Amino acid sequence: MNPNVIEVDEQSFEKDVIERSRSVPVVVDFWAPWCGPCRTLGPLLERLAAEYHGQFVLAKVNVDLNPLLAQAFRVQSIPMVVALRNGQVVSHFVGAVPESAVREFLARLLPSNAEQLAAQGMARLAAGKLAEAQRCFEQALEQDANCAAAQVGLAKVHLQRGEKEAARALLERVVSGPYQNEAERLLAELRLQEASGEEDALRRRLTANANDLEARLELGRLLAAQKRYEEALELLLEVVRRDRNFRDQAARKAMVDIFHVLGNGHPLVEHYRSELAKVLFA
């Protein structure tokens, strides 16, 4: 039994297809036992899954047993083949196409040489081998200057070395795709780290004048740079309450940066995003 060929159903689809596609491409074969062309295409896909040795996973969905999945993917004719990467559908075809066409389909789906080099770089980076990781990322960018995985990976190398401007230049080039959120998170961290000032002095200014928005803003940014996010968000929200346009909406922008750093689903993000919306749309 080929471990890269799996049967999935409506209960296992999220884990075995959507989540799995974040680490390896997944090809979904929508088929049925009564379908003649399915009996031609299915074995071809299974043979190629074995030949490619884990470069993609083949997930087989019996549409008779899983009508909700067929409906969700708007399957109107079978066999229908859908490819997913990073949790998203990236391509599909319908019908028992020739082997050459299937191979072309897979070639467009599978990671490029640059992406493979970037993946090697990420593994070396996780192991703390910065020099080796940097070489992998640089080689990837030589092959594909727009390889987002390599851009983000090399930016992380620069950040670990304290080379913030070099990291920023790379991250600002990532404007779409599966690495955009990570790039935005790292850029948000960089912006938050730009805070300056002395905490005690800023607090004294606020004690003397509660409407010193500059002191309140800078104290919020300073606390965010120290990862004291809840107090920072409360200070920044109060700036928005008092003057939402102060310093070109700097407080709102700082709050959004904290949201990026903490990530969706974090309790602070859920609470303060709601509070911010109440102020902005009141």
Q: Are strands 57-62 and 5-7 parallel, antiparallel or unpaired?
A: parallel
Is 35 considered catalytic here?
yes
CA atoms of 156 and 169, how far apart (whole Å): 12
CA atoms of 199 and 209, how far apart (whole Å): 15
Q: List the structure tokens of 210.
A: 């509660």
CB 171 within 8 A of CB 155: yes
Give the bridge partners for 91, in sequence order: 83
CA nearest 156: which of 168, 147, 144, 145?
Answer: 168
Q: Out of 5, 17, 27, 38, pick the active-site residue.
A: 38
Contacts of 96 by beta carbon, 8 Å cutoff, 6+ apart: 37, 38, 40, 41, 79
φ and ψ of 8, to 5 deg: -125, 155
Is 136 considered catalytic here?
no
**CA distances, 182 to each of 34, 50, 175, 186, 260 (Å):** 45, 33, 11, 6, 9
**CA distances, 225 to each of 37, 228, 258 (Å):** 60, 8, 9
Residue type present at position 90: V
Q: Out of 5, 8, 26, 35, pick the active-site residue.
A: 35
- For tokens 């700097």, name the residue: 250
CA nearest 149: which of 128, 164, 170, 135?
Answer: 170
CB 8 within 8 A of CB 61: yes
Q: What are the residue numbers of the active site?
A: 35, 38
